[in-house]
Structure 1
Amino acid sequence: MLLRGCAGVGKTHAIVDHALHINKTGQISLVFYGEDFTGDEPWKIIVNKLGLSSNISRDELWGMIDSAAEATEKPVIIYIDALNESPERRRWKISWLEPLRQQITNFSRLKLCVACRDTYLDEVFNNRSEWVEFEHNGFLGREFDAIKQFFEFYELEIPATPLLQSEFANPLFLHLVCQAIEGLESRILPLGTIGFTDVLRLLLEEKNKRISEVCRYDNRDDNITKAVNALAKKMAEEKTRLLSRETAQKIVHEIFSVEDSERSLFIQLEKEGLIALIEQRTRPLAPKQWF
């Protein structure tokens, strides 16, 4: 099965929650992350992550897991989250994914579930006809319930006026918005008509305060807003939401650059989840997302 969806929609949480749920019933699940897959073939990475001997062959690996499934009388589900985050993600399309699917298909008690951001489907999959696809839409249709629960968790005052913007269906966006409001003295979403630009401004102001302390620059420079605007402008100019990592880094480094990786503005943008927001900001501009 393929679990697909846009950035920040909750694919990873869905996989982890489902794995924990079935484990409580005695069913075995194995969760791996795309970022772990580099260099060796996927089955060798799995051997290493499970702490097994490197002398184990491919068929021995799947046979061992199949035997474990037989003992529980339930299939083992092998999850690989975020194929797009693999350092060598194109290898999934070229030589990794189809052989892995075929290997696991040979064992009836083994099931494979992978997740991939919509942006990278064509880059990761050569042919999706053999996959059952499920699109994760986040909180779509349940926005009000999600907003209520998020605001209660962050101990914020629940807005009296419904927030109708479509972005609030995205869990990551809602999480970041709550973080932004949490940083305000009032801890209340400002009154009046709140548009995406207004919320984004509050968010960037709060993130700039935090990141300026880590990167050690004057927060009045507002490097976060500068970086987000520069990246969005580049994507608008090229009519795309897909920028190479090298291009994105170059743009951000032109705004703030230091040799110390711990003070890297680009790394902090990733850690704070702001990379995913840029595609929301440019949504009307192009049919693709950015990395």
Structure 2
Amino acid sequence: MRHPLVPCTVAAVLVAAGCAAPHVPSRPAVPPTLGWDSWNLDGCTVTAARVERQADALISSGLADAGYRTVIVDDCWFAPDRTGAGELTANPRTFPGGIPALADRLHAQGLELGIYESPGDRTCAQQSGAYPGSTGSAGHEEQDARTFADWGVDYLKYDWCGPGVPAELQRETFRRMRDALAATGRRITYAINPNSGVAGDVPGATGTWAGIADAVRVTNDVVPAWRTGAPATENQGIADVLDRVPPDPGTVRDLDMLVAGLPGVTEDQGRTQITQWARLRSPLIITADIATLSTGTVDLLRRTAHEM
């Protein structure tokens, strides 16, 4: 995904006093997440009804029984502005029942709810102008973490969306939300992407991210193509990523979402992505319309999940 900025206020706090952080109990390692994400199919047209349709398809296809149980609502789910108390709320037009109602529905189906946020002032879609408002989590980490826990969120996708900053400053920014999630007492899988909008660098592919998150994106966005010919600092195709697999980041290595089943990707190319992502222990997050996946692709996804 694409771009917020780390605000000066956050930078000032992190630089001060040696960036001392409270002790956080160690978190047990989690396996790579299996599920579905709304971004490539719906973008900023995401609605509760669209998400529920894909959740139902996970169940009817047998993918949920195989382990694909995390349903991730990506960018653009929120009202463009926070409340007067600074709280996030769902867009009342597209999520009329709010996020808690969606979480309750998914949990009743044996599924889990994932939600999206960014560590700057604005989310990626807001930074690019695709969605109005300014509702990033900068300065609201503890408040947003409590909100997510109260709503029954099980997974947080936290997307950088900003220019490059010193690596340790970026790590400290991600630690702020890690600590806020831990303080809620609810186990929320924490998946971060340090790379969006960082010109000339792929921070997630360098150094260690151990202890910072449950999964770390080590690529830029993977788009529905076999090759783009672009370097690692830009959007890549499936083969571009496999040509130079980023090193182990010290936690789950996230090679980005599956583009298998999307226009621009052949059946064989999609199968290659699924099998190679699984071999490298990357999360397997479907982004196509599950109802349009071929029987062969669904069968491969089910078999692969049992081998993870």
TM-score, with normalisation over the residues of structure 2?
0.30
Q: Greater helix percent: which structure?
A: 1
Bigger radius of gyration among the two: 1
